[in-house]
Amino acid sequence: MNAAVYPPKLFVRTVPLRGGADSLVRRLPAGTPLAWLTGDGGLVGWGEAARWDGAPEPEGTEPTDTTRFTEAARWLTGLLERTEVEDEVGLPGTGAAAFGTFTFAPASSGSAMIVPRVLLGRRGDRAWLTTVTDEPGVHPGELLYPAPAPRPVGPLSWSTGARTAAEWGGVVAETVARIRAGELDKAVLARDVTALAESPIDVRTLLERLHHRYPQCFTFSVAGMVGATPELLLRREGRELSSLVLAGTRPRGASAQDDERLAEELMSSAKDVEEHGLAVDSLRDALAPLAEELVVPSWPHLLRLANVQHLATRAHALLRPGVSALDAVAALHPTAAVGGTPTAAAMRLIAEEEGMDRGGYAGPVGWVDGAGNAEWGIALRSAHVDGARARLFAGCGIVAGSEPASEVAETESKFRPVREALTD
């Protein structure tokens, strides 16, 4: 267990921005930006007033271990006890707020919570500025950091990740055989590819391109994890929580007629409906102990994004008193949409067969504020950016009816958002 490290005291002030914040990304300085954007709103931040880095659990730790979430929650509680807040806006995301990313598996390193020195937010027609300092009545130096235009990425060289597409297709075939033999019902398998630029990648460029092309998604940047996820793990306001399950995918069609054909094929596919149902059951089972009320539709709807379309189900819950956003994150992760069913068996298969460390891929990513409001997504359609290197990830749900060639093609569709964002 990590010993919690805190600054002596933090002074947080949130004030309204009159005139708004037209482009949140364009206000970010270069470096290591923090971001959570969707539609016309969201949060961006820079600088570090406080930070928690989770230590990986020992190899062999149960794959469903939640220590990293409970340690982060304990750290955040301790930090808030040492924080004085002046909030003139009073919306979700104002006052003290932390961005976070958690690894998919407990034995991986990369879980982090960061309270920025400067945060800009927008919700509807209201915008705000939050500053965090070690002394009352002063401004952080980071407030005046210059924000030059995002830089182009430049030429890229691409390389295979842990497995080639053909090798990964072989793993899919082996997994299908194990599912048909009754070992488990579903496993979500992922693969990676790597891009290397000639100079450090400006994350703001990726954020701007992803947010522009996928405004319905949640575009994020936290501790090197960057992407645009369609999957909202949870949104919490007061005691009300909502969650969006996505499982079952088809590409968008080349024409309106082709698009409708693919949509009808998805909605009527026994394989995809089964995969989606397993993910919904996983969500229901995880939320039920935390909720006084829980509403889960009995049939999915279709969610169309720029590059793919998904089967989608939106659930709503009223949380029991005392249940925090990070409690719910810990209970929900890993969902069947990113792990499998049964969870422990699927997680063990992933560790045995994928041949790579996912890091933060398919783990929770998002933010939480001092009042307990939060938005957390699942880090999909994403990459880990470290200097000039970007490691891209894509995965698919494997069930008894899965075909390796189709699953490889689906990963290529899911790589596309970040591939295109990296391409000048």
Q: Would you list the DSSP string of 386-402? A: ETTEEEEEEEEEE-TT-
- Catalytic, 186? Answer yes
Q: How many CB atoms lie within 10 A of CB 309?
A: 20
Phi, psi for residue 279 in degrees, rounded to 5: -65, -40
Rounded CA gap, 197 and 203, in Å? 12
Element housing 170 (H / E)? helix 165-180
68: Cβ contacts below 8 Å, ≥ 6 apart? 54, 57, 102, 103, 106, 111
Helix, strand or coil for residue 360?
Answer: coil
> Which residue in 57, 71, 142, 186 is the catalytic one?
186
DSSP assignment letter at 288: G
Helix, strand or coil for residue 406?
Answer: helix
Question: Helix 404-422 to helix 203-213 angle, to the nearest 10 degrees?
Answer: 120
> Do residues 300 and 312 lie in contact, with contact meaning Cβ atoms separated by under 8 Å?
yes
Helix/strand/coil percentages in the chain, nearest 5? 30, 35, 40
> Which residue in 57, 208, 231, 354 is the catalytic one?
231
Rounded CA gap, 424 and 150, in Å? 12
Rounded CA gap, 291 and 32, in Å? 37
> Do residues 367 and 36 lie in contact, with contact meaning Cβ atoms separated by under 8 Å?
yes
> Do residues 329 and 364 lie in contact, with contact meaning Cβ atoms separated by under 8 Å?
yes
Rounded CA gap, 37 and 16, in Å? 19
- Residues labelled as active-site residues: 186, 231
